Chains A and B, each alone.
Chain A
Amino acid sequence: MSWETVIGIEVHVELSTESKVFCGCKTRFGARPNTQVCPVCLGMPGVLPVLNRKAVEYCMKAALALNCEVSGRTKFDRKNYFYPDLPKAYQISQYDMPIGKNGWMDVEVDGKAKRIGIRRVHLEEETGKLVHAGDDITSAESSMIDFNRCGIPLIEIVSEADMRSADEARAYLVKLRSILLAIGVSDCKMEEGSMRCEANVSIRPEGSTEFGALTEMKNIASFKAVYKAIEFESKRQAKVLESGGRVRRETRHWDDLKSETVFMRSKEQAHDYRYFPEPDLVPLEIDRAWTDRVKDTIPELPDQRKARYVADYGLGQRESSLISDDMDLSTYFEKGIEAGAEAKALANWMTGELAAALNASGTEISSSKAGPAEMAELLGMVAKNEISGKTAKEVFAEVFAKGGSPRKMVEAMGLGQISGEEELRKAAVAVIDANPGPSADYIAGKENAIMFLVGQLMKATKGRANPKMANQLLKQELDGRKKNL
């Protein structure tokens, strides 16, 4: 049977405000444990939270950038549960009146556009961070807690279950990150945990309109892991169903080292959070004027960037969205152009050679040794016919592996094109003399024979000849001999 995978994604993003959402504590990452805390975020008795205006505006900004309706009247709610990273034993969140709802985002996968619904965007507080003491999580006798993170503003972005493949899920996340970075509300660092995602995955027979039982996957720490986890999980579910089993509604943990999901807890004993309106905070009223003011602060978003790349640089639709949907690719592209690279050639390399090398080595483009400046230098040499396309690829591979200046690499390796006409003419004469048959064919009128000779000349010069010039010189030489016959 052929199965269709259905995916919904929840993303949590820490907002980059200076202070926490309900108290004035600093939010700096990497501070010594428990040094950015106060009675409010430690959950001491008798304290009162006061809402950070900027956190609200950042949440509104994210909601607006995701085409959400921004609520007129909203409020905060208590989500009650016991866990040591939550000193109050409840989290201030938003339950039934999120700041943003009913939005959407367009992604492009394999040249096909797809609209993904955004169910809601709401504001809540971050929890503390648990550090497990002892040898490892399972043998640890106790856990240590750092409350610096507790109370940092967090937004939760919930998509509709509109994605149908791991590729679409990845495209959604890449573009979401790109949008959030563009509007400057978060640094979206997955490695520092300021952006985290959970994927809800279910499968159903192709053509079916009903949803299957879903599993929720946690501990996904990179976009690559999202992709792998969804691929693994949909195959696992298919295997369960095909062997006559039933997919259980449960939470699973992604083990990145083993590349598999493992059972964490059953969803059937669902939590009862007993949400109720937060009595310590008054309601929030967001009027049209405030919404408009926040809207005015939204800069160019990936979709507009895409249109600009097409209009200003003549890029194709597909490569344009490939680059513009990804903030890191866009930054690379624009820095490359600033460094003098020709836009189309740069885009070609970025979506071709560079993308392949990054993929094969598992490197992020932001840490590529062949950076935008190096790429611009390399492409500049190609444009000026100083090196051939083939040489450029060799040089690129070297620069990608070791770093350094492409120009210096070309000089050191003696890969520069033979630009001196005399030098190349000498080589051309040698090629003609060494290949009397094809040379005679050309002179006799078989013009195609020139191709063979050009090939020989390129070989003789180890690809360092400019093919156009090689062609020209060979023709000149042979035409001269023809006249002298």
Chain B
Amino acid sequence: MGIGRDEVMRIAELARLEFGEEDAAKYAKELDLILGYVAKLEEVGTEGKEALTHAQELVNVMRDDVPVEGLSQEQALMNAPARKGEFFLVPRIMDNSDED
């Protein structure tokens, strides 16, 4: 396999991380080591086995649809780096990548 510089930079961009070329080379090496370690798992035969989606064996943990009191508006906003009246304030949205 081998994680290259480009892949590191791409992951950095997706995770909104910023670092220089030197660090990129270092992280590429480190990520490679981690993946190499985990690659041992590929030696295990999983043919016909259903994928495990959770480490717990529990299923169907649910609550009833009953509303409970949350935070007050003041509490909700008290840790906001910036606020405007009753709202959280964030820098202007540059791209239109709104999603659902």
Known: A131-B87, A140-B92, A144-B87. A285 touches B64 (CB 8 A): no
How many B residues face the partner with a CB closer than 8 A? 41
How would residues 78 to 100 of chain B score, 1 for a CB under 8 Å from any chain A CB and 0 otherwise?
00001011111111110111111
CA separation between A282 and B53, bound complex, in Å? 8
Q: Does B46 contact A (CB under 8 A)?
A: no
Q: Does A154 contact B (CB under 8 A)?
A: yes
Q: Does B48 contact A (CB under 8 A)?
A: no
How would residues 10 to 35 of chain B score, 1 for a CB under 8 Å from any chain A CB and 0 otherwise?
10001010000000000000000000
| Chain A, 62-114, CB within 8 A of any chain B CB | 73, 75, 80-86, 91
Known: A19-B65, A50-B63, A84-B90. A35 touches B73 (CB 8 A): yes
Q: Could you tell me the distance in whole angstroms from the C-beta of A194 to the nearest C-beta in chain B?
A: 12
Query: Cβ of B66 and Cβ of A25 under 8 Å apart?
Result: no
Query: Cβ of B67 and Cβ of A18 under 8 Å apart?
Result: yes
CA separation between A124 and B55, bound complex, in Å? 22
| Chain A, 187-216, CB within 8 A of any chain B CB | 196
A85 contact from B67, B73, B96, B98, Cβ within 8 A:
B98
Chain B residues closer than 8 Å to A224, beta-carbon distance: none
A144 contact from B65, B67, B68, B88, Cβ within 8 A:
B88
Known: A24-B63, A81-B97, A144-B89. A279 touches B54 (CB 8 A): yes
A interface bracket (residues with beta carbon within 8 Å of B) = 35 or more
Chain A residues closer than 8 Å to B60, beta-carbon distance: 282, 284-285
A53 contact from B14, B58, B62, Cβ within 8 A:
B62
| Chain A, 35-69, CB within 8 A of any chain B CB | 35-39, 41-42, 50-56
Please tell me which stretch of A26-34, A165-173, A302-310, A363-371 contacts chain B, meaning at least 4 of its Cβ atoms lie within 8 angstroms of it.
Answer: A26-34
A contact set with B: CB distance below 8 Å: 12, 17-19, 23-27, 32-39, 41-42, 50-56, 73, 75, 80-86, 91, 124, 126-127, 130-134, 140-147, 154, 156, 196, 218, 253, 264-265, 271-272, 274, 277, 279, 281-285
What are 15 A-B pairs with beta-carbon distances under 8 A?
Answer: A17-B65, A34-B73, A34-B88, A35-B73, A39-B71, A50-B62, A56-B62, A84-B93, A143-B90, A147-B76, A156-B100, A218-B98, A265-B97, A282-B61, A284-B60
